[in-house]
Structure formats: structure tokens, C-alpha cells
Amino acid sequence: MTPLALSSLSREELRRWLEARGHPAYRADQIRRHMLRAGEGGFASMGDLPLQLRAELEQSTAWSSLEVLAATAADRGLTTKLLLRTGAGHELEAVMITHPPRSGSRGRRTVCVSSQAGCAIGCVFCATGRLGLRANLTAAEIVDQVLESARRWDAESLGRPTNVVLMGMGEPLQNYSEVVSAIRLLHEWGIPPRQVVLSTSGLVPEIMRLAQEGLGARLAISLHATDDQLRDRLVPINRRFPIASLLDAARKYAAASGRRVTLEYVLIRGVNDDSGAARKLGQMAAAVHGHVNLIPMNPIPGSDLRAPSPAACREFAALVGPRATIRHSRGDRATAACGQLRASLAAEPRREKRILARELALVESPSGQPG
Ligand code: SAH
Ligand code: SF4
């Protein structure tokens, strides 16, 4: 029998679980404190719990639903990529990003979490897309990426995680219910939904469902193109949910949540970096009252696509207008940056071939016109 993942329970559920077994409910808070602390060696090290309770926990629950296979630091230790494995043997990655305090700001600790092992969408510029979907992660497996990060920050006395971005492996809205449960659970670990960003390639019905949910999480839309012909090729889900419907959903989400949406735009040299696209992007952002994050593309294995020069990125940003910010994703050297997450998994050969064919067509005729 698979053990019960402690991180799948809310605080109240853990209290009830304990009471049902004849233990006082307040033990829940003791256990949960241990789950955030550095150097915890599992139940054996929970010295303030009675031996019998420790034995029961050991027998029927799992301290963490993830095993850490490797941790790679970059950016002078400000970014750490964790390679993790689920109980079912699926590999995934999470990235810990430390923003040190600056004058006027207290510093933040952001965990970039995966919602799936692999991804089914197959965006042409993304390493995860080449893996295909290996598995949906459970809410506990999503939460445990944050708790594992919390223990590592605690080891350096850096404080608790403050923000979570669902920008690791996977399309969060294709794993809707586990992702929503995880966002709810994270609130009890000190991360309210307004400090969670859910990034999506654009599943319109699920965006609308999320708007109704009333969670209050922030939404980022991975736009990457301003016309359907190009977006169909970069982000294949666009064939089902074209740009106009996506922007409409973004506008409705913003209205329902009272939070501004972000449009993400990975800049790819010679593909989506022309001045016409920049102007259109500025108009689209204005129409949804949103902000634009321009992300110079990180190179990925097996692809010739590259970012424009830094000067060209700045020019593009200027044309988009005041709503645009250039974001360099952190951790390049540890290949921890956006889109580079592929665990230690090999691409799925037939899938990679299909994506490469799309890439070749893009480079030869970026606008989608033959010739
Ligand atoms: N599947 C979701 C969330 C995970 S991807 C989504 O697509 O939004 C998180 C972000 O990383 C997305 O905006 C994605 O477009 C971006 N990304 C993917 N590959 C990238 C690359 N090679 N360089 C820079 N950003 C990339
Ligand atoms: Fe999936 Fe997002 Fe990568 Fe596209 S960019 S393949 S949706 S993880």
C-alpha cells in the first residue's frame, strides 16, 4: 500500500487523522513544524513526539513524497536546481531562487515548481516539451517541492519560501485539480495564492474555470506570438484556442480575480522579434491591462533557436512600450533556467523529430508563408 503523503493533508485533516488514532490534535502542529526544518532525518529525529506516534507515522505515512537525486547551484548560490523523483519513479525538477534583500525590500525566496513530469503541449522552444507527458504530479508532490526548498533555505537560516511560480515542467492547467489543491495547501504553509503565479500555454476552458474558483492566484499567459499563424507553430495548443479567445479569457480572469495578468513572450531571433510583433504585443497588453515579460530564449539541447542580441531585445522592449520588462531567467549555468528543465530524461525520439520539423519550418519561413 502506498503510504499516506503527509503533505497531501491540510492542517485540519492531519489533526483529525491523529485524533482518529487516539493522539492529541496538537501533535499536528509539531509534525508540521518539523516538516519545515533543516536537517530533519524523517520521523526518527522528531524527538518531541512520543515513540509510539513516531512508529505509527513511520509505518503508515511518508515524510516526503519526493526523493532528492541531485542539487545543482548556480548564480553564486542564488539559484539551485533540484532533481527529484516521485514514488512512482518519475523524475522532475524544481528551482530555488533567492532574491537577496535590497534597500527598501526584504528579499524573497521563490520556488519554481513543476506540475507534471514532462509536458504534452510540445512548444518548439522548450526542453520539457520534447519529453512528452510522463506523469501528472499529485498535490503532495507539488507541495513537497516547496517544503524541500524550505528545508534547504532553513539550513542556511534564510527564512521561509515567500513565492511560488508554476513555471517548471508541465502545463499546470492540464493537471487542474491537483494544482488547485496544491495552491490551497500552500496557503497553510505561509504562501497565499496572491504570491503564486500560474503560468499557462493557454487552455481557455480551464482559465475560465480557475476564474470561477475564486482562488486569487496570479495568472501568466505564455503568448510568444501575436498572430495565430505563428503561434500555431510555436505553441501548438493555439490551434484549439486561438489568440483572440485566449486574450478574452485573460481579460475575464483579470476582472474576476482583481489581479493583473502577465503576458510572457520568449524572444527568439528571426522568429518573433520583428518590430510589427512588438507593437502588436504592446496593444494586446494594453487591451488586457496586463504586463509583458520578455524572456530572451535560453538555448536548449537539440535546437538551433537562439535569443536576439541584448541590444535587439532592448529595442523590442522599447517598441512594446512601458508595459514591458526584460526578464533574464536565472540559473543559466546550472541549466536551471526557464524551458531548460528536462530532468535527466532523454527526449522521446519520434516527438523530437516532429518538433524539429516544426523548428526547421520556422527558421526557413518564420511568418508561416511557404518559401
Ligand atoms: N507550461 C506552462 C508553464 C511552464 S513553462 C507554460 O508554458 O506557461 C514556463 C515558462 O517558461 C513559459 O512562459 C515558457 O514559455 C518559458 N520557456 C519555455 N522554454 C523556454 C526557453 N527555452 N527559454 C526561455 N523561456 C522558456
Ligand atoms: Fe509545456 Fe510550457 Fe514547455 Fe510549452 S513551454 S512545452 S506548455 S512546459
Say if strands 79-86 and 91-99 run parallel, antiparallel, or are unpaired. antiparallel
pTM: 0.95
**Residues 6 or more apart from 255 whose CB is under 8 A from it?**
none
DSSP state of 271: T
**Residues 6 or more apart from 280 whose CB is under 8 A from it?**
226, 227
% of the chain surpassing 70 pLDDT: 96
Q: Do 141 and 65 meet the contact criterion of CB atoms below 8 Å apart? A: yes
Say yes or no: CB of residue 300 within 6 Å of ligand 2. no
Domains of the chain: 4-62 (1.10.150.530), 66-364 (3.20.20.70)
For 9-14, what is the mean pLDDT? 98
Q: How far is the CA of 303 from the centre of ligand 1 (A)?
A: 15
**Residues 6 or more apart from 28 whose CB is under 8 A from it?**
11, 14, 15, 18
Task: Tell me whether residue 313 is one of the annotated catalytic residues.
Answer: no
> Tens of pLDDT along 153-163?
999 988 999 99
Cα separation, 254 vs 331, in Å, equals 30
> Tens of pLDDT along 51-89?
999 999 999 999 899 999 999 988 888 899 999 999 999
In angstroms, the Cα distances linking 329 to 23, 104, 147, 266, 296 are: 47, 23, 22, 11, 8
Say yes or no: CB of residue 295 within 6 Å of ligand 1. yes
> Tens of pLDDT along 117-173?
999 999 999 999 999 999 999 999 999 999 999 999 999 988 999 999 999 999 999
Supply the pLDDT for residue 77. Answer: 83
Task: Tell me whether residue 338 is one of the annotated catalytic residues.
Answer: yes
Cα separation, 314 vs 294, in Å, equals 10
Taking CA atoms only, the protein residue closest to ligand 1 atom 5 is 167
pLDDT band at 329 (very low <50, low <70, confident <90, very high): confident
312: left (phi over 0), alpha (psi -120 to 50) or beta: alpha
Say yes or no: CB of residue 131 within 6 Å of ligand 2. no
